[in-house]
Amino acid sequence: MTSAARLLALALLLVPAPALPHGTHHGDHAAEAVVAEPERLALPNLPVTDRFGRRTGFRDALPPGQPVILSFTYTACDTLCDISNAVLTVVDAELGAGPARAATIVTVAIDPVRDTPEAMTAEAEKLGAGPGWLWLSGGPQGTRPLLEALRFPPGALEDHDPMFLVGQPCLGLFTRVVGLADPDALLALARAQPPCDG
């Protein structure tokens, strides 16, 4: 099955037709992914909570030396978040599990109130997310500083386009992909990341 076919199948399973109204902000800007030039971005070590309720620093939560695919979502979203998560479901399955896994998926929750560990767990379980897919929230105090550090544009929760950051944290270099990315393109970007020195 091709990536496009897998994505379409997942999208049809996850998103009911009424969830994607015509003429919305998402529909106008998210049809094709735009890949920006690599940018310097130092991941912060701000406090976060994962879906199991464990607290740590954002950077500390990431496996050392491994590329990451960052995404942004909120658990009450009923529009393009589901399709973005479907893209990552395909990526997660392709990456497999264990020490040979080429990248870690990190979903950053953007709703500081409703994206609780319980809500993130329910979403992860709905998607069948594996252990190499982290779900992190800054909570009421930390979400905004975390999003600002990751240069996620401010605005209403329901008014953001899908966005992915693919890079190597130890090198501080990331490629920003805005729009509905192809799973194979995200995988290729992750696998092309150079190793950490030393």
Q: pLDDT at position 156, please?
A: 75
Measure CA of the first residue to CA of the last residue in the chain; give whole Å: 39
Instruction: Please state which of the four CATH numbers 3.30.479.30, 3.30.9.10, 2.60.40.10, 3.40.30.10 is assigned to the domain occupying 34-150+162-191.
Output: 3.40.30.10
Q: What pLDDT does residue 97 have?
A: 82
Spatial contact of 71 and 133, defined as CB atoms under 8 Å apart = no
Q: What is the pTM of this model?
A: 0.83
Structure tokens at 129: 């997310």
CA dihedral 140, 150, 50, 75 (to 10 degrees): 70
pLDDT tens, 59-87? 999 999 999 999 999 998 877 788 889 99
Q: Give per-residue pLDDT as tens, 32-63.
A: 778 888 999 999 999 999 999 999 999 999 99
Residue 11 has pLDDT above 90, yes or no: no
Assess whether pLDDT exceeds 80 at residue 109. Answer: yes
- Residue 16 in this model has a pLDDT that exceeds 60: no
Whole-number pLDDT of residue 2: 46
| Chain segment 123-178, per-residue pLDDT in tens | 999 999 999 999 999 999 999 999 999 999 877 777 778 899 999 999 999 999 99
| Domain coordinates in residue numbering, the chain | 34-150+162-191
